[in-house]
Amino acid sequence: MQKAIPRSDQTTALSPRQMLLPLVLAQFLCSFAGTTMNVAITSIATDLGTTVSGVQTAITMFTLTMAALMIPGSKLTDIWGRKFCFRLGLLVYGAGALVAALSQGQPGLVLGYSLGQGIGTALLIPPVYILATIYFEDTQSRAKAFGAISAAAGIGSAAGPLVGGLITSAASWRVAFGVQTLIAVLIIYLGRKIIDPGVQGEKPKFDLLGAILSAAGLFFIVVGILQADTYGFFRSTQDFVIGSTVLIPAGGISPVWLFVAIGAILLAVFFWHIRRTERAGKAPLLSMRMFQNRISNLGLLTQNVQWLVLLGLSFVVSVFLQTVRGYSAIETGLILTPATIGILVSSMAAGRMAQRRSQSTLIRAGFVVTIVGVLLLLLLVRETSDILTFVPGLLLVGLGVGVMLTSSVNVVQSSFPEKDQGEISGLSRSVSNLGSSLGVAIAGTVMVSNLATGNEGYAWAMIVLTVFAVIGLGAALLLPKKLPSIAPETNLAAVYGIDPD
């Protein structure tokens, strides 16, 4: 077992409370990147000579890259070290933001934003949650740490449109990416004294085949959904051609389902692979026990739906305001401010509410409030309606999502003992980012597709988001009111020589 960290080293390290600042800022930055582009869609499309669908693809690929690589990124923290992955992720993220800022076309945007920042996020986010778990050993302090990090995620997503709108209107969308590079450098500086106690025991081997299968499966499913904009959801509106060969003629089944089927097969092979690897006594990318906890599975589903609704709604409302109502980036950001306020208020009150109500109760209440908010956006907003018609719905969605974020994370993380925190953290973040990716892909595709125009596309997208929110509520209703507690294991602070003060 690794020796305790000497007192001389501890004096140069950050205390748990000081360490929390760079972790919170890192989560805020990555969540901010997921929505800040929404208000600049038309500006980016014009500057880069692409379309709204092209920008939608870049946004979706960003969240998809995070979802596909979050589990491999989590496994790498046990091989390379948490602090190393945290710093490396920030470097890759900052470089990607710089490439995006200097891009002259959609390929450059995808390379810098979708891939660079996506890969960087997948490397740096797992250490955020693992380090918080290690440094905050008791349930109460850990809940506060998770609450601060989860609140940063929600506030970052909600503040993205406003801050992005201000920067885009005052300067350029390129400056928004430049600012992200500077913030990444600042976080590296703030976290320079973080002590990583290192992985205890033998380092695991990296399951490359498992990583490829899981990433490819998610990729085909999400990219398949994006094809609906071109070919339609059910019947193909045109020939689906690869090279000079027509694979699906116009009028046949949409290529969407071909891609989704390939993705589903790859994920099925992935599960077969990890089960086979475990039976052989080897370490797979992800243990099967991560999927055998009913409470955790329900919590993961609620997380997925929360981010699907939040990111999907942010994209749909932003596109509607800019392409249908003709608002600028700053006007769009200001109109979306009620959602930011809602998340901020409910996130700040989440800790106090958790002392009075169970986690499952808060998740259920959050979904109910969110559903009401989406329905108000559907019923009140029209092509010519007053700006104030957006306020009640956006505020309620922000309040509802803010209530749920911390509770869902706690449900999932608390369903497993300390030894599994690394794996469940990676899975949890992957599922959340997959929800973000699906939200933009599904609701965004409905919004910009040829199936409807103007207010009709907006209305159908809101209906789709309502359906998913109802599914999330159904999962929340299946959660037991009183969640079982995990028996405490080794005192990690004592093992790692970390001063809890």
pLDDT for position 500 = 34
Determine which helix (DSSP H) or strand (DSSP E) holds 248, and give its type and residue range: strand 245-248
Spatial contact of 48 and 229, defined as CB atoms under 8 Å apart: no
Nearest Cα to Cα of residue 52 among 288, 298, 280, 323: 323
The verdict on 305 and 171 lying in the same domain is yes
- Distance CA(113)–CA(34), nearest Å, equals 10
Q: Of 252, 284, 316, which one is at a domain's C-terminal end?
A: 284
Q: What is the pLDDT along the chain (501 residues), one digit of tens a residue?
A: 333 333 334 434 567 677 888 999 999 998 888 778 877 888 888 889 888 778 878 888 888 888 888 888 888 887 888 889 999 999 999 999 999 999 998 899 999 999 999 999 999 988 887 788 777 766 667 667 777 887 787 778 777 878 888 888 888 889 999 999 999 999 999 988 887 766 666 777 888 999 999 989 988 988 888 787 778 777 888 888 887 788 888 888 888 899 999 999 999 999 999 999 999 888 888 888 888 899 999 999 999 999 999 989 988 898 888 888 888 878 888 888 898 888 888 877 776 777 788 888 999 999 999 999 999 999 998 888 888 999 999 999 999 998 888 788 888 877 887 677 777 877 888 888 888 888 888 887 787 665 555 568 888 899 999 999 999 999 999 998 776 554 344 333 332 233 333
Among 284, 316, 336, give the residue marking a domain's end: 284
Boundary-marking domain end, from 284, 318, 353: 284
Run of H or E residues at 269: helix 255-279
Whose tokens are 């089944």? That residue is 253
Q: Do 195 and 251 fall into the same domain? A: no
pTM metric for this prediction: 0.79
Q: How many CA atoms lie within 13 A of 105 on its CB side?
A: 1
- Do both 473 and 375 map to the same domain? yes
Domain CATH number, residue 61: 1.20.1250.20
Please tell me whether residues 55 and 184 are part of one structural domain: yes
State how far the Cα of 124 lies from the Cα of 95, in Å rounded to an integer: 14
- Domain assignment of residue 374, given as a range: 11-206+285-483
- Domain membership of residue 6 (yes or no) is no
Please give the tally of structural domains in the chain. Answer: 2
Is the domain of 268 the same as that of 297?
A: no
